[in-house]
């Protein structure tokens, strides 16, 4: 059984970050270890007055203990990092706690809809580039890619040339493979682009016109689980997209469930995928 470490926040209510990553990746049959970057009472989208506890000061002692115990990981997945000071520690983890052949997935989780998240600035963007440089798989959305590459942000009706420019820009930062989320060529459609340095590919599906929190975390967790089960870049990106769409569809009937998607309802689909991979 592979052992993957995911580093991101715990939003105690809201179906995002670690409360998504831990159960979803585990459902793929992967031992999932966690290093919380912060603890929030809720996520920051739509809730007011949430609490935030920065856990940066705990990183050195956690890393030190793992080193003493000889703990190593087969892969890493980073999400929301609330403090740029944590990036040095994360890079240390990559260098010192990796098994041979360990793969790193970086979701830059810092911006959407043309804006940086609250509390982030251009300095954070520069720090995030250091993580992207170590990524076997970089999973930015359109906004994050625009910030990371210094490219004009376009929300919809993208051209292939625009998407290619973003993907090439992320690849030039050092990422081995790029999965660009939120690609939109025409009304009623959304998808992802994948780029490995040679081939640019697309996977598109129906666009559901409703903003739902945590879908990026569901996508990234499913992508990590799929790749850990041997799926290659294009297959993993499509599997993650289809599972995320399924979670959205299963949430839509509940009009009061605005703060996340009911990823729990796709767990059987994840288990089925994993079992099929073993056959």
pLDDT over 80 at 226, yes or no: yes
For residue range 3-57, list pLDDT tens digits in order: 999 999 999 999 999 999 999 999 999 999 999 999 999 998 889 999 999 999 9
pLDDT band with cut points at 50, 70 and 90 for residue 118: confident
- Cα 57 from chain centre: 24
Contact 245, 206 (CB under 8 A): yes
What is the distance between the alpha carbons of residues 200 and 196, in angstroms, rounded to a whole number?
7
Instruction: Please state the pTM of the whole predicted model.
Output: 0.96
**Could you give the percent of the chain with pLDDT greater than 70?**
100
- Distance, CA of 94 to CA of 73 (rounded, Å): 9
Q: What is the pLDDT of residue 7?
A: 98
CA–CA gap between residue 101 and residue 16 (Å, rounded): 28
Whole-number Å distance between alpha carbons of 240 and 221: 8
Q: What is the pLDDT at residue 209?
A: 79
Fold of 3-278: 3.40.1190
Lowest-confidence range among 61-65, 111-115, 176-180?
Answer: 111-115
Task: For residues 249 and 263, give the distance between their C-alpha atoms in angstroms, rounded to a whole number.
Answer: 10
- Residue 270 three-state SS: helix
Local confidence band at 235 (pLDDT 50, 70, 90 cut-offs): very high
């Amino acid at each position: 059984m592979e052992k993957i470490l995911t580093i991101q926040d715990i939003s105690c209510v809201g179906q995002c970050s670690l409360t998504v990553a831990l159960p979803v990746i585990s459902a793929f049959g992967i031992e999932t270890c966690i290093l919380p970057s912060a603890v929030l009472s809720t996520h920051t989208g739509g809730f007011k007055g949430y609490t935030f506890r920065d856990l940066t000061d705990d990183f050195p002692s956690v890393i030190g203990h793992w080193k003493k115990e000889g703990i190593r990981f087969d892969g890493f997945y980073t999400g929301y990092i609330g403090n740029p000071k944590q990036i040095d520690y994360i890079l240390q983890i990559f260098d010192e706690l990796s098994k041979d052949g360990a793969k790193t997935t970086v979701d830059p989780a810092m911006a959407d809809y043309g804006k940086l998240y609250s509390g982030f600035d251009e300095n954070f963007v520069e720090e995030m580039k250091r993580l992207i440089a170590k990524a076997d798989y970089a999973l930015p959305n359109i906004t994050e890619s625009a910030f990371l590459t210094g490219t004009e942000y376009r929300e919809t009706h993208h051209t292939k040339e625009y998407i290619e420019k973003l993907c090439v820009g992320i690849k030039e930062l050092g990422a081995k493979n790029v999965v660009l989320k939120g690609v939109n060529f025409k009304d009623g459609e959304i998808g992802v682009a994948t780029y490995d340095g040679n081939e640019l590919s697309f996977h598109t599906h129906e666009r559901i016109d409703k903003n739902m929190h945590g879908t990026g975390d569901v996508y990234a967790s499913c992508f990590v689980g799929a790749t850990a089960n041997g799926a290659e870049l294009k297959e993993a990106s499509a599997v993650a997209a289809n599972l995320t769409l399924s979670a959205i569809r299963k949430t839509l009937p509940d009009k009061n469930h605005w703060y996340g998607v009911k990823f729990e309802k796709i767990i059987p689909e994840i288990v089925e995928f994993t079992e099929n991979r073993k056959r």
